[in-house]
Structure 1
Amino acid sequence: MEKRFLTPGETVQAIVDNARRLSTQSLSRTVVLSLLAGFYIGFGAQLATVVTQDTAPIVGVGISRLLGGSVFSIGLMLVVVCGAELFTGNSLLAKAALHGQISWWQLSANWAVVILGNLAGSLFFAWLMFRSNLWQSGHLADHAIAIARDKTTLPFDVALVRGILCNWLVCLAVFMATAARDISGKVLACYIPIMTFVASGFEHSVANMYFIPTGLLLAKRLGISDPGLTWRSFFIDNLLPVTLGNILGGVVFVSFAYWYIHLRGQRPAAA
């Protein structure tokens, strides 16, 4: 009978083996998979915006965040089950670099391609949602703009710490989804940590590649001028510290921690 899940040690090895495969795949494949991840996270982000636009006055802020996090998790479910390259999840590739299975240059090259692909996919998805005119219903436009403004006005250190906490959970979600051997297990593994980070208010770089451009597009259409909500504030005030925090959270607290526990001192397997 096939095991229903992998042990932590087996999961670490599975991630390392997967990283070795990813390091040799074609550039075009990596680009397409990273574009798909941008779309998939966008689906979750837009659904969270729709669900939370008017729930807080009715059920309270906490339950509203819980609902938003619950539906946002569809993004990582699509990434994991359907297959895509997500920058934040690829922080786990650092395990393979630490273990000598791929070079740090290969890791950096993968991250660079994937984050640019995620950005392109997220921007295109934000444009599609903008062109759909669905934002004209209810309080959706105002809510989307408020989400974007709240993110671009965070102090650098706050955005950094929220990024660390976010990707700690995202990488644990990917870790658990790798351990699961069936679809239901993978879905549950994605749901709990992702719901937790969204409900807690942590910051995810790829999600923000949808949230903030959407707010910028809507603010321009509605003639709203806000010095705290600009393309510069998107890239410099939010995306930069959040991305750095995501890297630290995923690499230090998940990749390094579990490499240290399960692989340190072992000889790398032959490629």
Structure 2
Amino acid sequence: MAYLAPTEFVTKMVDSGESKLLMSTRDTLIRSFMAGAMLALGAAFAVTITVNTGNALLGALLFPGCFILLYLLGYDLLTGVFTLAPLAVLDKRPGATWAGVFRNWALVFCGNFAGAFMVAVFMAIIFTFGFSEAPNAVGVKIGHIGEGRTVGYSAHGAAGMLTLFIRGVMCNWMVSTGVVAAMMSTSVSGKAIGMWIPIALFFYMGFEHSIVNMFLFPSGLLLGGNFTVMDYLVWNEIPTVIGNLVGGLTFVGAMLYSTHYKTAPKRKIA
């Protein structure tokens, strides 16, 4: 479980950001599609555990397994590239531009959504026996999650929107911390341990993750949740994406970059 010092793993963060910006469109879409699909499976797994055991903590503790697998497989989530891709531009790496960053974010968003939506359809088929009967208990639970985290926020107006945004910020503070924690170690076990706690924390605390929501809310609509596509976009996905961007880029990427990569000069003692 070899540990890398902050100056070493922050350099890896910048290198990773550069790699993602220079990746081909095909590879970016494939990797983001698979990331969205695997994270969606993790969310379905966690909700199923919670419903079947009545223990939400157990679901949250096991959810990080799929997150860890997708990162070990080299797949890309929007929340991670929000944090890493801009660092290559800040460091003025060759070929790294803001246009490239926005292109990468757009491609990863599309890939993540396609993968998560595919799993949403697959799980809706499973939960309803091919839409031939009413959703089972897990399907009903997912529908209620969609209602509570859309119309539940809208019922509180501006205060609800603020709460949603802050939950998005807090989410990617934790998720991106997990992504960076994987770079702290050179062993599989070390990477997994580093990722586990921040990912379990965000899930159990009910923070808003844009890619998890790409599964939960389309699933909820397919399973009869009492909310609309516009509710999902306005009162969850769009503010969550913005909150995830702010949380990951400011509290993780910018902070680590500024203090461990572009370190301020040491004080001179008179």
State the AA in 2 paired with 1:256: A
State the AA in 1 paired with 2:69: L
Task: With the length of structure 1 as denominator, give the TM-score of the two structures.
Answer: 0.87
Measure the CA separation in 2 of the matches of 1:198 and 1:265: 33
Q: Number of aligned residue pairs: give it.
A: 250
Measure the CA separation in 1 of the matches of 2:8 and 2:81: 18
Q: Which runs of 5+ in 1 are unaligned?
A: 57-63, 267-271
Structure 2 residue aligned with 1:88: 79
Measure the CA separation in 2 of the matches of 1:6 and 1:258: 14
Structure 2 residue aligned with 1:193: 198
Q: Which runs of 5+ in 2 are unaligned?
A: 154-159, 265-270
* Residue 103 of structure 2 is aligned to residue 98 of structure 1: no
Structure 1 residue aligned with 2:180: 175
Structure 1 residue aligned with 2:38: 40
Structure 2 residue aligned with 1:12: 10
Structure 1 residue aligned with 2:118: 124
Structure 2 residue aligned with 1:73: 64
For residues 72-118 of structure 1, give each alpha carbon's deviation from its aligned partner in whole angstroms, at most 9, with x where no partner exists: 21231122111101000112222222222222221111011101110
Matching of residues 153-168 of structure 1 within 5 Å: 153=151, 154=153, 155-168=160-173
1:230 CA displacement = 0.9
Worse-superposed segment, 242-251 or 144-153:
144-153
For residues 14-43 of structure 1, give each alpha carbon's deviation from its aligned partner in whole angstroms, at most 9, with x where no partner exists: 111122222222100100001001111111
Structure 2 residue aligned with 1:110: 104
After TM superposition, the runs of 4+ consecutive aligned structure 1 residues lying more than 3 A away are: 133-138
Structure 2 residue aligned with 1:251: 249
State the AA in 1 paired with 2:177: L
State the AA in 1 paired with 2:116: S
Structure 2 residue aligned with 1:61: none
Measure the CA separation in 2 of the matches of 1:78 and 1:137: 29
Task: With the length of structure 2 as denominator, give the TM-score of the two structures.
Answer: 0.87
CA RMSD across the alignment: 1.8
Identity of aligned residues (%): 31
Measure the CA separation in 2 of the matches of 1:256 and 1:38: 25
1:141 CA displacement = 1.9
State the AA in 2 paired with 1:218: L
Matching of residues 50-65 of structure 1 within 5 Å: 50-56=48-54, 64-65=55-56
